Structure 1
Amino acid sequence: MELRHLRCFLAVAKELHFARAAERLHIDQSPLSRTIRELEEDLGTTLFQRTTRSTRLTRAGKAFLEHVPRVFTALDQARMGATMAAAGYEGKLHLAIADGVAPTRLSALLALCREEDPEIAVDFSEVPMTALIKGLHEELYDVGFAQSPDVGDGVMARIAWSEPLVLAIPARHPLLVYKRIPLSEALRYPLVLGDPHYCEGYCSQVERVLRHGDQEPLVAERVCSPHLMMALVAAGYALALVGASQIMAGCERGVVGRRLQGTEPALVTWIVHRDVDLPEAVARFVERVGSVDSA
């Protein structure tokens, strides 16, 4: 089995169409089909169920797909490790981020790491919450940030920081007559929310706030990043509930943040890591989070 077999498998598994997968790989369909047959022969099982109308993963194919991406993640980490060692770094910390975190806090933390541990390189991955937890268990990541403490057994979560949850509003919006906006008034307008698959913790915290309203929110769009969320607000497309730092750090003009009336909701970020004795460099990183929070 070679890496080319795995790359071809991933392409077909993603497209579920041999012609499109071949186009993605910039090869002809015939060698792609031959490579998949070689892989299936090596594994002794069929990975794809093919008909004239469709291509589907078999049960074995689905099981294989759960593991193959980790091969490339480990390969990327090994490549990066060699590059960092050649550049003079003595160690590396694998940091995973789910949901997005307060950019000002993260920037301050990383700056402190560069100052106090300049020989430790930090490798970043942006992943969904489920992938973060799985990656911690499989030791692909050393530590992570998420906006949910629901990490299960074998992983620890503690509050890294919290910030006010505010309503992001386009400039010159009618709601700006309020210094603090009633939730019932905010729910009269469309909202842009996070995609639960990519922003699981954020969505859970925001939806907990929305449940206090007397009506169902009108969801205009669900997005994967706070940057797109803020862009849609700036364009007047919808309102959004975001951390206050997203307003301060956002580069879009014409977005105003206002707190909700009668409540002080907070957007909480947790730092998560395996429930084991941490390596010294990882332990120092975790300790720095508290100093950034109090700075």
Structure 2
Amino acid sequence: MVDRQWGVPTQLGSRIPLVSLVQTLAVAEHLNFRHAANALGVSLSSVSARVKALEEDLGILLFERHARGVRLTEAGRRFVESVATGVDQLDHAVKTAGMAASGEWGRLRIGVHAMTSRSFLAELIAQYREDHPGIEVEITEGTARETVMQLRADRLDIVFVAGTPELPDCHSRRIWTEPIVAAVPDRHPLAEMSAVTWADLAGETFLVRHGGTGPQVHDHIVLRLAGRWPASSIQRFDVERGTLLSMVGQGFGITIVGAATSLLPSSSVVFLPIADESEPVPFSAVWSPFNRSAVLRNLLTLASKMGQADPTGLSRRDSSRPIAQQ
């Protein structure tokens, strides 16, 4: 129950309209009812009536009226300071909620197999961050199996993997493709060729990683060289991609990579197109069907748009040099 006696404070009920508080703040700022009304674009009578009703509901005199305007009482000053803070917080909450609903504020957790400067994936994430500066982008690197498991555990919002996985509990979409190239030491007999075939690679020692796309690379090599002679050897290493390329350059063996990897600075390594590799490797986005956030939707929209414009993911590379010379 509200006690309307002046000077007797009462509890603030939730029925006090926000507009009354906003108009009271305007009067406190201008110290004049007419100026406050003009600033808000409302009538003088509206402001006067709402402030008076608020004072009566609170049981507190907020303003001392005089001929030239008003002056805050001590109680009014303290009330206005607290209300101003609350209104600012409410305004911030409304704005951030609206930004989150439109995908302009929040967090996006991305799982990737690798990140190569100037690759399609790097360009995609860079463009997304430029378009949506209010989004905090987190990137986790791992194998397709690892990142999909994290996606299912709701620790990632989207993952990008090699291939076109068909997962019954996830949505997926093919985004871009990359040709496969062979990485060989620059002193290898094949390094002088403009392109190689899988028959040329038979009998070689292949190096693959345990992480990243290593498992897919291993299976692809086994599939392409099955039944060929001489038999090839495949050695696995728990190293980063840059280290694996360094091992290739030092003559430990050869490997196969997506063409985007040829964008990396790699001394003593030559990248050769594989002439009988008929189709490039597709890369897909995978996400949960229960994730309907605008943050994710905006990334998928951008990925599809960029993928249609640049399906091979290589139009941004320096095309002045053939792969074999990079």
TM-score for the superposition, normalised by structure 2: 0.57
- The one of 202, 219, 224 aligned to 1:204: 219
Contact 1:93–1:121 under 8 Å retained in 2: yes
Counterpart residue number, 1:246: 261
- 1:272 maps to what in 2? 286
The letter of the residue matching 1:263 is E
Deviations 1:86-145 (A, max 9, x none): xxx9310011123x3555112211111121111001011113323322222221110011
Unaligned 5+ residue runs, structure 2? 1-103, 311-326
1:135 aligns with 2:150: yes
Shift of 1:226: 2.2
- Corresponding residue of 1:157: 172
RMSD over aligned Cα atoms: 2.6
1:257 aligns with 2:257: no
Matched residue SS, 1:149: coil
Contact 1:187-1:218 within 8 A present in 2 as well = no
Structure 1 residues 118 and 210: alpha-carbon distance in aligned structure 2, compared to 1, 3 A threshold: farther
Shift of 1:196: 6.8
* Aligned residues of 1:95 and 1:144 also touching (Cα < 8 A): yes
Tell me the secondary structure at the aligned position of residue 92 of structure 1.
Answer: strand
> How many angstroms apart in 1 are the aligned matches of 2:225 and 2:116?
21
Deviation at 1:283, TM superposition (A): 0.7
User: Higher Cα Rg: structure 1 or 2?
Assistant: 2
Q: What are the Cα deviations for residues 26-78 of structure 1, in whole angstroms up to 9, with x where unaligned?
A: xxxxxxxxxxxxxxxxxxxxxxxxxxxxxxxxxxxxxxxxxxxxxxxxxxxxx
Whether 1:173 and 2:185 are equivalent positions in the alignment is no
**2:112 match:** 97
Alignment of 1:30-179 (within 5 A): 90-98=105-113, 100=114, 103=117, 104-150=119-165, 152-179=167-194
Going from structure 1 to structure 2, the CA distance change for 1:194 and 1:216 (only over 3 Å counts) comes to farther
Taking structure 1 as reference, are residues 181 and 239 closer, same or farther at Cα in structure 2, changes over 3 Å only?
A: same
Identity of aligned residues (%): 17
Q: Which runs of 5+ in 1 are unaligned?
A: 1-88
Q: What does the per-residue CA deviation read over 1:266-293, in whole Å, with 9 as the maximum and x for residues that have no partner?
A: 2322111012352111011111112333
Equivalents in 2 of 1:224, 1:269: separation in Å?
22
Question: Per the alignment, do residues 127 and 260 of structure 1 end up closer, same or farther by CA in structure 2, a change over 3 Å counting?
Answer: closer
Structure 1 residue matching 2:146: 3-state secondary structure: helix
Q: Please point out which of 242, 245, 249 is paired with 1:230.
A: 245
Q: Offset at 1:233?
A: 1.2
